[in-house]
């Protein structure tokens, strides 16, 4: 039986990953900040799927706590075969309208933690000749520092995947569109105007993503509507994409 470590394991997409991976027989290491919620998820997974579900409470905006997770990934006596870099959060304010400390915290969780944990996981995976790293990202349109951080994450995953070619280890950037989770409410984002067809369900997108991981895909875009959108964003003139993103962001802030 193999082991998967999932960050942001207590809600939304991360919780859907944990349930799907447990159903497929993987033991789990669950990472998030809220210990009580981690314990509830651990109890649910071990009772429902009869798998091991270890808890590692850590705030990934804190360097020392990221290092504890990295040390767990590097522990040769308890190998981790799949790392899901999923923890994240959104923000409702613009870059210039917000607090710099919040922006730095966002980069620490969405970028620095992904960088440190991916290296800690990929080195022993490469030595063993198998394993996979997945990062949950969204960042094709320039909307806020969130999108900029996520664009870094996609580029980083592509670099990692290229470095791992032939090693038996894969890296996949999961690029979901809007998904029903706690993220938008936590960030105080008003999503009431988003049309229904743009919403994804976490369970389905996780299954699609894991199929893409098995197929060794580097970029996984779940949902036909988003495959089309991403293809369009890549061929449309960048100036047009920037103008459209700016309009959407300002409308969202006015109503948010
Ligand atoms: N929902 C969407 O529409 C959407 C679209 C594209 C990409 N994504 C990405 O998907 C990922 C998961 O988002 P979600 O929508 O599932 O969000 P969510 O429902 O709000 O869940 C976020 C998870 O991350 C954990 N977390 C947040 N901050 C953390 C920190 N500093 N350290 C450790 N854990 C932390 C939370 O637990 P604690 O609060 O207990 O720490 C929770 O388990 C994120 O990277 C997000 O950017 C989401």
Encode pLDDT of 57-105 as tens digits. Answer: 999 999 999 999 999 999 999 999 999 999 999 998 888 988 999 999 9
Q: Which of 135, 136, 220, 226 is catalytic?
A: 135
Select from 183, 185, 225 the residue to mutate for testing ligand 1; criterion: most ligand atoms less than 8 Å from CB: 183
As a whole number, mean pLDDT of residues 150-155 equals 92
Instruction: Please work out whether the CB of residue 199 comes within 6 Å of at least one atom of ligand 1.
Output: no
10 Å Cβ neighbour count for 118? 23
| Under 8 Å between Cβ of 176 and 200 | yes
Establish whether 146 is a catalytic residue. yes
DSSP one-letter code for 60: T
Q: What percent of the chain clears pLDDT 70, i.e. is strictly above it?
A: 93
pLDDT at 5: 98
pLDDT at 142: 61
pLDDT tier at 247, thresholds 50, 70, 90: low
Do you know the residue count of the chain?
256
Mean pLDDT score across all residues of the chain = 91
- Rounded alpha-carbon distances, angstroms, from residue 238 to 99, 140, 142, 154, 233: 28, 11, 10, 18, 8
pLDDT tier at 168, thresholds 50, 70, 90: very high
Name which residue leads in pLDDT, 168 or 247: 168
Select from 5, 7, 8, 108 the residue to mutate for testing ligand 1; criterion: most ligand atoms less than 8 Å from CB: 8
pLDDT at 245 over 90: no
Establish whether 50 is a catalytic residue. no
pLDDT at 256: 43
Establish whether 245 is a catalytic residue. no
Alpha-carbon gap, residue 164 to 171, rounded angstroms = 8
Name which residue leads in pLDDT, 256 or 38: 38
Alpha-carbon gap, residue 114 to 171, rounded angstroms = 12
| Under 8 Å between Cβ of 134 and 174 | yes
pTM: 0.94
Helix or strand holding residue 133 (H, E):
strand 131-136
DSSP one-letter code for 61: T
- Rounded alpha-carbon distances, angstroms, from residue 209 to 110, 113, 145, 205, 235: 19, 21, 25, 6, 24
Closest CA to 96 of 249, 251, 256, 255: 249
| Under 8 Å between Cβ of 67 and 59 | no
Closest CA to 186 of 66, 247, 106: 106
As a whole number, mean pLDDT of residues 238-248 equals 75
Closest CA to 241 of 140, 159, 107, 94: 140
Alpha-carbon gap, residue 89 to 62, rounded angstroms = 15
- Rounded alpha-carbon distances, angstroms, from residue 80 to 32, 74, 124, 132, 136: 17, 8, 9, 9, 18
Alpha-carbon gap, residue 159 to 199, rounded angstroms = 29
Residues 6+ apart with CB under 8 A from 254: none
pLDDT at 13: 96
| Under 8 Å between Cβ of 13 and 205 | yes
């Amino acid at each position: 039986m193999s082991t998967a470590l999932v960050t942001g394991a207590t809600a939304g997409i991360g919780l859907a990953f944990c349930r799907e991976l447990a159903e497929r027989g993987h033991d789990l290491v669950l990472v998030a900040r809220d210990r009580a919620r981690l314990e509830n998820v651990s109890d649910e997974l071990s009772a429902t799927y009869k798998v091991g579900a270890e808890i590692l409470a850590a705030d990934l905006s804190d360097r020392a706590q990221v290092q504890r997770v990295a040390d767990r990934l590097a522990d040769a006596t308890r190998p981790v075969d799949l790392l899901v870099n999923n923890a994240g959060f959104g923000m409702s304010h613009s870059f210039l309208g917000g607090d710099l400390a919040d922006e730095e915290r966002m980069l620490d969780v969405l970028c620095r933690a992904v960088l440190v944990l991916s290296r800690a996981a990929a080195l022993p995976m490469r030595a063993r000749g198998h394993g996979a790293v997945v990062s949950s990202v969204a960042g094709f349109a320039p909307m806020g520092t969130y999108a900029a951080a996520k664009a870094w994450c996609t580029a980083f995953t592509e670099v990692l995947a290229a470095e791992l070619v032939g090693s038996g280890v894969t890296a996949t950037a999961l690029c979901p569109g809007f998904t029903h989770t706690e993220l938008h409410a936590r960030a105080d984002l008003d999503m009431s105007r988003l049309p229904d067809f743009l919403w994804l369900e976490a369970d389905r997108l996780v299954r699609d993503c894991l199929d893409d991981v098995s197929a060794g895909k580097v970029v996984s875009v779940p949902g036909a509507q988003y495959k089309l959108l991403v293809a369009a964003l890549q061929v449309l003139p960048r100036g047009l994409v920037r103008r459209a993103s700016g309009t959407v962001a300002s409308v969202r802030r006015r109503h948010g």
